[in-house]
Amino acid sequence: MARSFVTPLSRARGKGSAHEGTHHFIAQRATALAAIVLTLFLAVILVMLAGRDYAAARTLIANPFVAAALTATAAVFCWHMKLGMQVIIEDYVHGRILRPALLFANAAFSAAIFLLVVVAIGKIAFS
């Protein structure tokens, strides 16, 4: 029989891979690729915002193309940062309560940031 690298303890527990690792890996790379393109877009928008007052800044963000691309940027950034912070938590936090609590807080925080950005851009674009 081939040598198994599963420890007796984990064999007794009977839990194997959750089979989500590949999805996480691919999503992190896909959002990274999109984030590189959107970072260049964001840099252009930031420069365009630099000289604007309140009304002019709202006009720029209200532009449908800017509003759509900025929403896409928020979606990609928030998804990517959720995946990244998840890895950091999984690397460093091992408590049976603290670890799942932080993983949940991470997902909630990333979703909250995204929703705030979407509502703010929506309010600017639709008013």
Partner 1 sequence: MSDHDPRQNRPLSPHLQIWKPNLTMAMSILHRITGAALYFAMVLAAWWLVALASGPDYFAFVDGIFRSWFGLIVLFGASYALFHHAMGGIRHLVWDTGRAFAIPAAEHMAIMSLILAVAFTVILWLAGFVAS
Interacting residue ranges for partner 1, rule: CB under 8 A: 7-9, 29, 32-33, 35-36, 39, 43, 46-48, 50-51, 54, 57-58, 61, 74, 77-78, 81, 84-85, 88, 113, 116-117, 119-121, 123-124
* Three-class DSSP category at 19: coil
Q: Which is nearer to partner 1, 101 or 111 (CB)?
A: 111
Shortest separation between residue 63's beta carbon and partner 1, angstroms: 13
Tokens 């940062």 belong to residue: 81
Shortest separation between residue 72's beta carbon and partner 1, angstroms: 14
Q: Are 71 and 121 in contact (CB under 8 A)?
A: yes
Shortest separation between residue 40's beta carbon and partner 1, angstroms: 9
Distance CA 96, CA 91 (A): 14
Shortest separation between residue 108's beta carbon and partner 1, angstroms: 13
Q: Are 100 and 44 in contact (CB under 8 A)?
A: no
Within its chain, how far is the Cα of 70 from the centroid? 14
Helix (H) or strand (E) holding 97: none
Q: Which is nearer to partner 1, 20 or 91 (CB)?
A: 91
